[in-house]
């Protein structure tokens, strides 16, 4: 039996019920020993090996194997899932949305406790499917797997899971998948830090015309409530030339919109051997032929530079939308959150942005019920919401994450108090968002058509440059095109439009 001890928490095995078909797949070791040491060659080697095993299993089954990759959490997880799907489809799986598949992978999130609970709940259902399908394999990856207590719980109570890996070794998926097929035990490989950034692995994009692009990994900020720096590790930027090469290829492949992804894109490039700014990366990206829209996520207010504000004003294809998480409007709470800005600084940033780009859409994240938050602190948050007038906001109840500084702060807020504040915040956010959206009613604006409407097949759904959703009559031939649409009616969260009004 192969072992895969690596630095970090290392790999280990938990015995799973013996499954005959895996044993029948022959002597793994001779073959696997010849794997090249270097990436991406190593990945391609394991993809080739896995392809043969998958073909073999499909023959036994009498039809192609199916896979279902489920993403929890943020855009970065969504992008990671595309990479996993890319490998799975290349090795012979047929991608499906049904979790009654031959291989199901949950790419997990752990930013709030309820994200974890969802995974445990759904694993119970998967176990039921697995009992009916002896071929079925279940894998878990992503942020939740970086927490030792989660892996312990899975080992003890969810031994039907076949493969567990973390955020730092996603690039090893092809190898881990192959070894999982050949093993009759739970394979676990979770590393503490990123070893390398592997470029040029296959991906399967969810949309042909838009794509996320990782520009950096990890986070150095240690906001006191947040678990991300512990599970995603320290900040590492990709080289600009690698990023631009990837985007050029995407543009040649028909991608019109890219979203540059990082936990804090405003500090992109600071730690590269030859440092570059995020603003300069945006300017270079904007020169790429064929690209029509550039978005990015997420910006930390403490690192938002004047140079970046200028890029919005100067560069037409950078979408006029900024997601600028506030978290709290109270300077006292912001200090306890370790956010490195105060209410006044945040409001000044908004003012400067609007001076340069008057119609910019602003969206945000806000946490309610952080330890020690008083009614006065909460009213400061409401005050910022009223002053800034966000186009939309994600509002969260504070969730205690073990291991973060905030988890051991005194004065944890009672759930009832936090929920009542949350309701008041939601009411303000929704009222203002609907009022803001009204300003565009009647205008004719370019819409990138994304999909056929899920409820009404005579409609298509797309997005304005500012990210607002528009539904209008049209057929599937419009998908991927940017077309002018008159916004005839505003429904608060979205618009109804027509092409020839």
Name the residues that contact ligand SF4, by CB under 6 A.
Answer: 219, 221-223, 226, 228-229, 263-264, 300
**Which DSSP category does 458 fall into?**
T
In the complex, least distance from residue 401 CB atom to ligand 5AD, rounded to whole angstroms: 5
Please work out, in degrees rounded to the nearest 5, the angle formed at the alpha carbon of residue 352 by the alpha carbons of 305 and 468: 90
Among 95, 98, 121, 97, residue whose Cα is nearest residue 108:
121
The partner in contact with residue 112, picked from ligand SF4, ligand 5AD, none with C-beta cut-offs of 5 to 8 angstroms by kind, is ligand 5AD
In the complex, least distance from residue 108 CB atom to ligand 5AD, rounded to whole angstroms: 15
470 binds ligand 5AD (CB under 6 A): no
Q: Which contiguous run of DSSP H or E holds residue 337?
A: none
Q: Give whichever of 111 and 291 is closer to ligand 5AD, judged by the CB atom.
A: 111
CA distance to 35, 62, 168, per residue, from 402 (Å): 40, 47, 21
Among 304, 387, 373, residue whose Cα is nearest residue 337:
373
Q: Which of 401, 421, 436, 471 binds ligand 5AD (CB under 6 A)?
A: 401
429 binds ligand 5AD (CB under 6 A): no
421 binds ligand 5AD (CB under 6 A): no
Q: Which of 83, 112, 339, 436 binds ligand 5AD (CB under 6 A)?
A: 112
Task: Output Rg (C-alpha) for the chain, integer angstroms.
Answer: 24
In the complex, least distance from residue 112 CB atom to ligand 5AD, rounded to whole angstroms: 5
Q: What residues contact 327, with CB distance under 8 A and at least 6 apart?
A: 223, 334, 337, 339, 365, 366, 367, 370
- Using CB under 6 A as the binding rule, the residues of this chain from 298 to 337 that contact ligand 5AD are 325, 327
Q: Which stretch binds ligand 5AD (CB under 6 A): 27-35, 92-100, 148-156, 395-403?
A: 395-403
Look-up of token digits 């490039």: 269
Q: Which contiguous run of DSSP H or E holds residue 273?
A: none
Residue 127, SS3? helix
Q: Give whichever of 331 and 498 is closer to ligand SF4, judged by the CB atom.
A: 331
396 binds ligand 5AD (CB under 6 A): yes
Contact 316, 342 (CB under 8 A): no
The partner in contact with residue 219, picked from ligand SF4, ligand 5AD, none with C-beta cut-offs of 5 to 8 angstroms by kind, is ligand SF4
361 binds ligand 5AD (CB under 6 A): no
In the complex, least distance from residue 339 CB atom to ligand SF4, rounded to whole angstroms: 7
Cα–Cα dist 81/131, whole Å: 25
Give 329: exposed, middle or buried? Use CB within 10 Å, 0-12, 13-18, 19+.
Answer: buried
Q: Which stretch binds ligand 5AD (CB under 6 A): 21-29, 330-338, 398-406, 447-455?
A: 398-406
In the complex, least distance from residue 25 CB atom to ligand SF4, rounded to whole angstroms: 41
**Sheet of 392-397, strands arranged across:** 321-323, 361-368, 392-397
Number of residues that bind ligand 5AD (CB under 6 A): 12
The partner in contact with residue 284, picked from ligand SF4, ligand 5AD, none with C-beta cut-offs of 5 to 8 angstroms by kind, is none
81 binds ligand 5AD (CB under 6 A): no
Q: What residues contact 461, with CB distance under 8 A and at least 6 apart?
A: 449, 450, 451, 452, 453, 454, 469, 470, 471
Q: Which of 255, 367, 413, 432 binds ligand 5AD (CB under 6 A)?
A: 367
CA distance to 155, 281, 286, per residue, from 247 (Å): 40, 12, 10
In the complex, least distance from residue 501 CB atom to ligand SF4, rounded to whole angstroms: 41
Task: For residue 217, list its beta bridge partners.
Answer: 236
Cα–Cα dist 424/301, whole Å: 24
346 binds ligand 5AD (CB under 6 A): no
Q: Which of 211, 267, 299, 399 binds ligand 5AD (CB under 6 A)?
A: 399
In the complex, least distance from residue 309 CB atom to ligand 5AD, rounded to whole angstroms: 20
In the complex, least distance from residue 336 CB atom to ligand SF4, rounded to whole angstroms: 13
Look-up of token digits 């010849």: 34
Cα–Cα dist 294/494, whole Å: 21
> Helix, strand, coil shares of the chain as percentages rounded to 5?
40, 20, 40
The partner in contact with residue 229, picked from ligand SF4, ligand 5AD, none with C-beta cut-offs of 5 to 8 angstroms by kind, is ligand SF4
262 alpha carbon, distance to own chain's centre: 9
The partner in contact with residue 401, picked from ligand SF4, ligand 5AD, none with C-beta cut-offs of 5 to 8 angstroms by kind, is ligand 5AD
225 binds ligand 5AD (CB under 6 A): yes
User: DSSP strand E in 410-481: where?
Assistant: 444-452, 459-463, 469-473
Q: Give whichever of 165 and 398 is closer to ligand 5AD, judged by the CB atom.
A: 398
The partner in contact with residue 100, picked from ligand 5AD, ligand SF4, none with C-beta cut-offs of 5 to 8 angstroms by kind, is none
Q: Give whichever of 180 and 260 is closer to ligand SF4, judged by the CB atom.
A: 260
Task: For residue 477, list its beta bridge partners.
Answer: none
Residue 282, SS3? helix
The partner in contact with residue 399, picked from ligand 5AD, ligand SF4, none with C-beta cut-offs of 5 to 8 angstroms by kind, is ligand 5AD
The partner in contact with residue 165, picked from ligand SF4, ligand 5AD, none with C-beta cut-offs of 5 to 8 angstroms by kind, is none
Contact 68, 32 (CB under 8 A): no
Residue nearest ligand 5AD, Cβ-based? 365
Contact 65, 103 (CB under 8 A): yes
Q: Give whichever of 216 and 250 is closer to ligand SF4, judged by the CB atom.
A: 216
In the complex, least distance from residue 224 CB atom to ligand SF4, rounded to whole angstroms: 9
* Site for ligand 5AD, rule CB under 6 A: 111-112, 225-226, 325, 327, 365, 367, 396, 398-399, 401
């Amino acid at each position: 039996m192969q072992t895969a001890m690596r630095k970090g928490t290392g790999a280990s095995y938990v015995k799973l019920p013996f499954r005959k078909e895996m044993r029948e797949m022959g002597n793994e070791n001779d073959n696997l020993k010849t794997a090249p040491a270097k990436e991406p060659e190593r990945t391609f080697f394991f993809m080739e090996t896995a392809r043969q095993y998958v073909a073999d299993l499909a023959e036994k089954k009498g039809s192609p194997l199916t896979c279902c990759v489920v993403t929890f959490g943020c855009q970065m997880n969504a992008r990671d899932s595309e990479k996993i799907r890319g490998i799975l489809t290349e090795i012979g799986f047929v991608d499906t949305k049904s979790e009654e598949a031959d291989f199901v992978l949950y790419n997990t999130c752990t930013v709030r406790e309820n994200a974890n609970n969802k995974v445990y709940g759904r694993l119970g259902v998967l176990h039921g499917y697995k009992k009916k399908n002896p071929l079925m394999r279940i894998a878990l990856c992503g942020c939740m797997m970086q927490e030792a207590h989660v892996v312990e719980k899975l080992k003890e109570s969810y031994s039907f899971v076949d493969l567990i890996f973390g955020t730092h070794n996603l690039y090893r998926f092809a190898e881990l998948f192959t070894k999982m097929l050949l093993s009759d035990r739970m394979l676990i490989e979770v590393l503490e830090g990123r070893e390398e950034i592997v470029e040029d692995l296959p991906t399967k994009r969810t949309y042909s015309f838009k794509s996320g692009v990782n520009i950096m990994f990890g986070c150095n900020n240690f906001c006191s409530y947040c678990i991300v720096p512990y599970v995603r590790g320290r900040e590492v930027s990709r080289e600009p030339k690698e990023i631009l090469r990837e985007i050029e290829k995407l543009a040649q492949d028909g991608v019109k919109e890219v979203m540059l992804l990082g936990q804090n894109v405003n500090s992109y490039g600071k730690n590269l051997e030859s440092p570059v700014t995020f603003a300069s990366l945006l300017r270079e990206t904007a020169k790429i032929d064929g690209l029509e829209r550039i978005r990015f996520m997420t910006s930390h207010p403490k690192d938002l530079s004047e140079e970046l504000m200028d890029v919005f004003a100067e560069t037409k294809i950078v979408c006029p939308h900024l997601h600028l998480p506030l978290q709290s409007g109270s300077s006292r709470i912001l200090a306890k959150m370790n956010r490195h800005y105060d209410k006044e600084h945040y409001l000044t940033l908004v003012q400067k942005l609007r001076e340069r780009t008057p119609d910019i859409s602003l969206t945000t994240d806000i946490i309610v019920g952080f330890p020690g938050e008083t009614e006065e602190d909460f009213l400061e948050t409401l005050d910022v919401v009223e002053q800034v007038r966000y186009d939309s906001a994600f509002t969260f109840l504070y969730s205690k994450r073990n291991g973060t500084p905030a988890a051991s702060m005194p004065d944890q807020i009672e759930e009832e108090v936090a929920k009542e504040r949350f309701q008041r915040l939601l009411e303000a956010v929704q009222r203002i968002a609907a009022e803001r959206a009204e300003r565009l009613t009647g205008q004719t604006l370019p819409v990138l058509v994304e999909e056929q409407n899920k409820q009404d097949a005579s409609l298509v759904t797309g997005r304005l440059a500012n990210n607002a959703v528009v539904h209008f009559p049209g057929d599937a031939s419009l998908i991927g095109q940017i077309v002018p649409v008159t916004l005839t009616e505003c429904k608060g969260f979205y618009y109804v439009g027509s092409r020839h009004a």
